[in-house]
Structure formats: structure tokens, C-alpha cells
Amino acid sequence: MKIRLAEAKDIEQLIKMRWDFTIEYDESKKNESFDDFERECHSFLENALKSNQWFIWVVEENGNIASHIYIELIQKVPRPGRITYPFAYMTNVYTVPEYRNKGVGSKLLSSINKWIKDNHYEFVIVWPSDEAINYYKKNGYVHSKEPMEYFPS
């Protein structure tokens, strides 16, 4: 298994994985248009892979992606007296079912945690599902107080 950043050649697999991930947790979406989703997701992924804002990490085995984690860097406003580093927003954490509970996701998360530390990113935020809380805890993540939200009406 190889852990690496996603490349343009991975886009079709990433689109299919995003679709599968969504359907797995919300079957009502399976009647949506895959073609519409594919166009939107393809454009997003092309732009993300070219940017210095998104980093899509994958675990590859025999040309197939077994797991992925998306990281978006959030730039902070500089503050006098210290170097300002971005923080990371982690999202779209997914491992295909046949690779689950085999340590694949934890190896990927461990690699990302090292990358976060090596690049001096200030912290990582993630909103885990209830089922994923233990996965994050065993990989060094801690609960924090809930953020405040505003939903425009």
C-alpha cells in the first residue's frame, strides 16, 4: 500500500468514492443524477488538485484507491509577535468497506498527522460522525467545545 497525494489520474475514482460514501450514509441520494454530480465533482477536484489550498491524501493498492482524506488549509490573519500558520480542515474521510478495520485509515491519518506537524499547521478540525469518534480518539484527536454557527435564512 502506498500513501500519497491524489493526482489527476485519480479523479474518476475519487468521484465514485464520494458518490458511494454519500449513498452509504443517505440512501435517499441514490436517485439523484450521477451525471450532474460527476460534472460538479470533476470540476471541484480538478481545481482542488491544482491549488495550494486542498490536499487530497489517498491510500493506493494495485492502482485502486482504498482510502482518502481531504484537507483544506485555512489561512489565518497574521498576528503581531508570532509567525502565523494556517490550520487544517479535515473532511471526506472514507475507506472502502473491504479495507475497513484493517488499520488502513489509521495509517493514512498517522501520515497526515506527521505532515501537519512537519508543516507547522496550527491545528486540525474535523466534525466526525458518532461512529467515527473512537477512530479519531485512537489517533490522537480530542473533543473540543462545539463551535458556534450561523445559518442565514
Q: What is the pLDDT of residues 54-72, one digit of tens each?
A: 999 999 999 999 999 999 9
Q: Please, which residues have CB within 8 angstroms of residue 126's CB and are 6 or more apart in sequence?
A: 89, 90, 91, 93, 136, 141
How much is the pTM? 0.92
The CATH homologous superfamily for domain 2-137 is: Gcn5-related N-acetyltransferase (GNAT) (3.40.630.30)
Q: What is the pLDDT of residues 1-55, one digit of tens each?
A: 999 999 999 999 999 999 999 999 888 888 899 999 999 999 999 999 999 999 9
Q: Are 95 and 105 in contact (CB under 8 A)?
A: yes
Calculate mean pLDDT across residues 65-86. 95
The domains of the chain are located at 2-137
**Averaged pLDDT of the chain:** 94
